Amino acid sequence: MGSDGYYPLFETRKAKGRVIYRLYALSVLVGICLIWVYRASHIPKPGEDGRWGWIGLLGAELWFGLYWVLTQAHRWNLVYRSTFKDRLSQRYEKGLPGVDIFVCTADPVLEPPLMVINTVLSVMAYDYPTEKLSVYLSDDGGSKVTYYALLEASDFAKQWLPYCKKFRVEPRSPAAYFISKGDPEDANQAEEFMVIKKLYQEMESRIENAAKIGRIPEDVLLKHEEFSQWDPYFSRGDHDPILQILIDGRNPNATDRDGFVLPTLVYLAREKRPLHRHNFKAGAMNALIRVSSKISKGPIILNVDCDMYSNNSHSVQDALCFFMDEKGHEVAFVQFPQNYVNVSRNEIYSASMRVIGEVEFPGLDGYGGPLYIGSGCFHRRDALCGREYSKGFETDWKSANGMRSEESVYKLEEQTKRLASCIYEEDTRWGQDMGLLYACPVEDVITGLAIQCRGWKSVYYNPSRRAFLGVVPATLSEVLVQHKRWSEGDFQILFSKYSPAWYAHGKISLGLQMGYCVYCLWAPNCLATLYYSVIPSIYLLKGIPLFPEISSPWFIPFAYVIIVKHIYGFFEFLLSGGTAIGWWNDQRMWLYKRTSSYLFAVIDTVLKLLGIADSGFIISAKVADHDVSQRYEKDIIEFGISSPMFTLLSTIASVNLFCFAGVVKEAVLGEGIRRVYETATLQSVLCCVLVLINLPLYEALFLRKDKGKMPSSLAVKSVAIALFACIAFMIL
């Protein structure tokens, strides 16, 4: 019991080992400063070799050093949270609030309807009073197959929910459950298991069939006249709003097979017109916020992407422990980590970003709260809708609870539809300071920042049983495109009204400001990284040293910073649950993202600032074809297509290969290994590491025969450019 006589619903613990970390960080800082001193005091005189290369390195090292200082905000002050769910149910047994769950989908091909309804079923089956749960599916794809699948799901739920509750199954996405579980041992359950599995498989084949032929079974069409809304004039980008309440939680007859009420289930395809901006996911979420405020008005909103199912049926209670605690009045959102099902042990694309989830977010939590990163986030409706936090504010859970209108379903649908029309938002604050913000490819991060700037806090909660499991892209190009969207969006936040660098000053803590800047500056990292991965290597060709000789005392800070920082990073990665090979792959992806995605993000941002281009939202694919998946499972990098990003990566890799060949030649034929060792140790090591890290890329360029290799034309082109660049540099 706390000193003031109440049992808290959650607890916050500081991480151990802070002192050691801080000593380490200070020692690295000293090293970085010495490197700066060396660079600034040893610039070659005008006319001397390597002057410009040197000055560039000074710039790059200043950048890296300052950036490193910012990243300390992620590691200085880690906190971990835990919840006491039993106390929550004791205290609020009858008074639990309504929770509205928003699932977003946008494309029936990239996001198969079967996957979508598995996510929907997993959240319908939360271990939470069903009369207080409402699930909304926003379908930006306006797909009648998706609607049909949801219809099937609403029926299947009548069996699935009681089954889940009776046998306390986890996870509650049927697909994931049937894959993860062999036949149950318990004879009692075995029988029901067979029945429910068969039901699921039948539903699965009906949905997949409908998706394949693009048609809904006749008998369903006859029974459900709402399908007439998909008339011949209907197209995905041009249609009236469609709003269907499939299960009306107010209806006492909407029950499962055991007679218990089902959660409310709503389908929404907001109005689309070719000449209107739709603002991607942010627009979809805002339509849902309005529509749900009419239908269920839950004071808590959970947002998940259609590919991210609930893997833990107690997450709602976990989140409520923060919102409903006496100390939780200022909590606007509770972000759960995003974990993924389809990552292999060694994560060839390092797509799970485990260090962010295990280290950086607990770090931000220590400074006022993590970023809102889309899927897996519970919001306080008030805060999301633009309310400012003021001291003493409290959500009245009881009054907000169960506020449901009395109209008939049909009338309710008709009245609510207009909230999802194109013109509804005209001359309103939606998208500016109400709901999710527009005009940024990462609507989530900027929205979370705006909320925090209005005085709210957020919480990061990482339960031991993973709360949500999603899907990561299975090809390199998709990963790079996704990172381009993220880094571009984060970069734009820096120049937006809500810039963490200036606007947020005084509104959020300095640590959080720095923490945001780390992500906002992902993109411009490309410049220093490109420089570092090309220039030192290419100077080797002329034998011009750009780093201190091994016998010089200035060599020590370089060696210290490089070695210690990487050892630390290695252990951080292992402690976050990664493997040694995974760490090596992570280093490669670090390089690839910085030298391709981030560069393109910078270019596009500049074009956008000049008003020449606009940024879009490329939806990432959630399924891959058989060939591609097989290579993915074997941790073979998928190239396969020609893209400017791949050309760039291959060219840089080839330049380093040539430079490395030059060093080897010099060592063997020229003045011998000794000279290379003495004068160009660091430079040669850097070049050598770049070659090692690019080994899979050389393989894809020159050796592989499968479809995932680099296209030959691209290989020829990049090798030619690299060769030309090297020769030109040697001659000039």
Ligand X SMILES: O=c1ccn([C@@H]2O[C@H](COP(=O)(O)OP(=O)(O)O[C@H]3O[C@H](CO)[C@@H](O)[C@H](O)[C@H]3O)[C@@H](O)[C@H]2O)c(=O)[nH]1
Reported residue count of the chain is 732
What 3-state DSSP class applies to 577? coil
Q: Of the candidates 334, 364, 371, 619, which one interacts with ligand X according to CB under 6 A? A: 619
Check residue 269 for interaction with ligand X (CB under 6 A). Answer: no
Q: Is 111 annotated as belonging to a binding site? A: yes
Burial 310-334 (b: 16+ CB within 10 A, else e): bbbbbbbbbbbbbbbbeebbbbbbb
Check residue 617 for interaction with ligand X (CB under 6 A). Answer: yes
Residue 663 sits at φ, ψ, to 5 deg, of -65, -45
Residue 652 interacts with, from ligand X, Mn ion, none (CB under 5-8 Å by kind): none
Instruction: Find the binding residues for ligand X in span 62-101 (CB under 6 A).
Output: none
The stretch near ligand X (CB under 6 A) out of 79-87, 602-610, 613-621, 721-729 is 613-621
CB of 663 to Mn ion, least distance (A): 43
Q: Of the candidates 96, 99, 106, 655, which one interacts with ligand X according to CB under 6 A? A: 106
User: What does the longest C-alpha to C-alpha distance in the chain come to?
Assistant: 90
* Catalytic residue selected from 140, 248, 433, 490: 140
Pick the closer one to ligand X by CB: 375 or 513: 375
Pick the closer one to ligand X by CB: 159 or 487: 487
Residue 632 sits at φ, ψ, to 5 deg, of -60, -45
Q: Of the candidates 280, 438, 598, 698, which one interacts with ligand X according to CB under 6 A? A: 280
Q: Could you identify the residue written with the tokens 């500049």?
A: 606
* Catalytic residue selected from 444, 490, 586, 604: 444
Question: Which amino acid belongs to residue 285?
Answer: M
586 is an active site residue? no
Helix count and strand count (H, E) for the chain: 28, 13
Q: Is 281 annotated as belonging to a binding site? A: yes
CB-based burial of residue 413 (10 Å sphere; 0-12 exposed, 13-18 middle, 19+ buried)? Answer: buried
**How many residues bind to ligand X according to rule CB under 6 A?**
22
Check residue 478 for interaction with ligand X (CB under 6 A). Answer: no
Residue 311 interacts with, from ligand X, Mn ion, none (CB under 5-8 Å by kind): none
Pick the closer one to Mn ion by CB: 239 or 622: 622
Q: Could you identify the residue written with the tokens 């694919």?
A: 621
What is the number of alpha carbons within 13 Å of residue 285 lying toward its C-beta? Answer: 28
The stretch near ligand X (CB under 6 A) out of 363-371, 381-389, 550-558, 617-625 is 617-625
Instruction: Spell out where 502-583 has E strands.
Output: none
Q: Is the peptide bond before 171 cis (omega within 30 degrees of 0)?
A: yes
Q: Are 304 and 376 a contacting pair, CB within 8 Å?
A: yes
Distance CA 61, CA 174 (A): 51
Pick the closer one to Mn ion by CB: 305 or 586: 305
Check residue 371 for interaction with ligand X (CB under 6 A). Answer: no
Distance CA 165, CA 126 (A): 9
Residue 154 interacts with, from ligand X, Mn ion, none (CB under 5-8 Å by kind): none
Check residue 444 for interaction with ligand X (CB under 6 A). Answer: yes
Pick the closer one to Mn ion by CB: 307 or 413: 307
Q: Which residues of the chain form contacts with Mn ion (CB under 5 A)?
A: 305
Q: Are 126 and 133 a contacting pair, CB within 8 Å?
A: yes
Q: Could you identify the residue written with the tokens 């290989």?
A: 715
Fill in the DSSP letter of residue 263: P
Alpha carbon 72 to its chain centroid, in Å, reads 21
Q: Of the candidates 335, 482, 529, 585, which one interacts with ligand X according to CB under 6 A? A: 482
Which residue's CB atom is positioned nearest to ligand X?
A: 374
Q: Is 635 annotated as belonging to a binding site? A: no
CB of 307 to Mn ion, least distance (A): 5
Check residue 289 for interaction with ligand X (CB under 6 A). Answer: no
Return all residues near 570 (Cβ < 8 A) that are at least 6 apart: 580, 583
Distance CA 536, CA 554 (A): 17
Pick the closer one to Mn ion by CB: 530 or 628: 628
Pick the closer one to ligand X by CB: 169 or 176: 176
Instruction: Find the binding residues for ligand X in span 651-670 (CB under 6 A).
Output: none
Instruction: Find the binding residues for ligand X in span 167-186 (CB under 6 A).
Output: none
CB of 451 to ligand X, least distance (A): 15
The stretch near ligand X (CB under 6 A) out of 480-488, 494-502, 590-598, 661-669 is 480-488
What is the number of alpha carbons within 13 Å of residue 403 lying toward its C-beta? Answer: 15
Pick the closer one to Mn ion by CB: 432 or 477: 477
Check residue 306 for interaction with ligand X (CB under 6 A). Answer: yes
Residue 140 interacts with, from ligand X, Mn ion, none (CB under 5-8 Å by kind): ligand X
- 3-class SS string, 603-669: HHHHHHHCCCCCCCCCCCCCCCCHHHHHHHHCCCCCCCCCCHHHHHHHHHHHHHHHHHHHHHHHHHC
231 is an active site residue? no
CB of 319 to ligand X, least distance (A): 17
Residue among 674, 105, 78, 52 at smallest CA distance from 360: 78
Q: Which residues are catalytic?
A: 140, 444
Residues annotated in the binding site for Mn(2+), as ranges?
A: 281, 305
Annotation: binding site for UDP-alpha-D-glucose: 111, 140
Binding-site annotation: residue ranges: 111, 140, 281, 305
Q: Which residues bind ligand X (CB under 6 A)?
A: 104-106, 111, 138, 140, 280-281, 284, 305-306, 374-375, 441-442, 444, 482, 485-486, 617, 619-620
